């Protein structure tokens, strides 16, 4: 799918999130610890900043009771749930996580990325004109100065 250059950096982040989600979804009891450690490292090392960026730059672009605000509410809820997953799994030290719990977290992360990529980003691209997309690209560029690749 062709993505606006304004949103392309966030889409690249989503690719990394999908790799982590797949690893969680396929985790067995034998490899639950390394899958947990990969999730914790990814979220704490990069994805929390990605969430903050979306919450501070993208979500304020939608207002009202329409589909954009409904998606924004779900995105906020997903972010909160994934932060809770991070804290819970961080506290297990990678040793107490059950593969079924990891599968649930992996599915949550995958579903979240798909919402943004398949629904929210296309909604923004349709809603914003070229000038607004250029402004968004500028804001994201400034904001991602310290974000870097995951």
DSSP 62-76: --SSSHHHHHHHHHH
Distance of CA 75 to CAs 34, 107, 109, Å? 27, 15, 11
Q: Could you tell me the pTM of the whole model?
A: 0.89
By C-alpha distance, which of 87, 22, 10 is closest to 52? 10
CB 78 within 8 A of CB 115: yes
- pLDDT tens for each residue of the chain, 150 residues long: 577 888 988 888 899 999 999 999 999 989 898 999 999 999 998 899 899 999 999 999 997 778 899 999 999 999 999 999 999 998 886 666 788 899 999 999 999 999 999 999 999 999 999 999 999 988 888 776 644 444
């Amino acid at each position: 799918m062709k993505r606006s250059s304004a949103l392309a950096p966030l889409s690249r982040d989503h690719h990394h999130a999908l790799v982590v989600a797949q690893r969680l979804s396929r985790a067995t009891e034998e490899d639950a610890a390394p899958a947990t450690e990969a999730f914790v490292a990814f979220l704490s090392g990069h994805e929390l900043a990605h969430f903050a960026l979306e919450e501070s730059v993208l979500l304020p672009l939608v207002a009202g009771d329409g589909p954009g605000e409904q998606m924004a509410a779900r995105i906020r809820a997903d972010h909160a749930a994934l932060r809770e997953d991070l804290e819970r799994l961080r506290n297990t030290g990678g040793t107490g996580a059950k593969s079924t719990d990891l599968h649930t977290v992996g599915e949550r992360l995958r579903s979240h990325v798909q919402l943004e990529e398949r629904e929210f980003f296309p909604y923004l691209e349709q809603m914003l004109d070229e000038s607004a997309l250029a402004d968004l690209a500028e804001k994201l560029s400034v904001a991602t100065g310290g974000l870097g690749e995951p």
